[in-house]
Chains A and B, each alone.
Chain A
Amino acid sequence: MAKNNNVCGGLYTSKVMETFKNPHNFGKIKNPDGTGKVGNIVCGDVMHLYIKVGRNKKNQDIIKDVRFETFGCVAAISTSSIITDMAKGKTINRALKITKDNVIKSLGGLPKIKYHCSVLAVDALTEAIFDYLTKNKMPISEEFKKRHEIIKKSEEIINERYKKWEN
Chain B
Amino acid sequence: MKKIYLDYAATTPVDKRVQKAMMPYFGSLPASRQEKFGNTMSLHSFGQEAKLALENSRAVLADLINAKPNEIIFTSSATESNNTALKGIAFASARRSPALLAGRLGEGGHIIISPIEHPCIMESSKWLKSNGFEITKIPVDKYGMVNPEDVRKAITDKTILVSVIHASNEIGTIEPIEEIGKICREEKIYFHTDASQSFGKIPIDVKKMNIDLLTASSHKIYGPKGAGLLYIREGIKLAPLLHGGGQENGLRSSTSNVSAIVGFAKAAEICQKEMRKPDKSRRHFDGSSTILPKTNLGGEQKRQEKLRDYLIKNLLKIKGSYLNGPPPARQSHSAQRLANNVNARFDFIEGEALIIQLDMRGIACSTGSACSSASLEPSHVLLAIGLRPEQAHGSLRISLGRQTTKKDIDYLLKVLPKIIKQLRDISPYGKK
Contact = CB atoms under 8 A, between A and B. Distances in A.
Contact of B429 (A8, A21, A42, A71): A71
Contacts of A65: none
B393 interface: yes
Contacts of A74: 352-353, 356
Interface string A107-148: 000010100000000000000000000000000000000000
- How many chain B residues sit at the interface, stated as a range, is 20 to 34
B10 to A, nearest CB: 12
Nearest to B347: A165
Contacts of A71: 348-350, 426-429
A165 B353 contact: no
Contact of A42 (B348, B350, B376, B426): B376
A111 B349 CA distance: 22
Interface string B111-135: 0000000000000000000000000
A161 interface: yes
A167 interface: yes
A37 B359 CA distance: 30
Interface range for A? 20 to 34
B316 interface: no
Contact of B428 (A44, A69, A73): A69
A8 B359 contact: yes
B348 A73 contact: no
A111 B373 contact: yes
B2 interface: no
Interface string B322-363: 000000000000000000000000011110110010011000
A11 interface: yes
Interface string B361-391: 0000000001101111110000000001110
B349 to A, nearest CB: 8
Contact of A43 (B370, B388, B429): B370
Interface in A49-97: 69-74, 76-77
A70 B431 CA distance: 13
Contacts of B428: 37, 46-48, 69-71
Contacts of B377: 42
B373 A11 contact: yes
Nearest to B356: A74
Contacts of B376: 42-43, 113
B414 interface: no
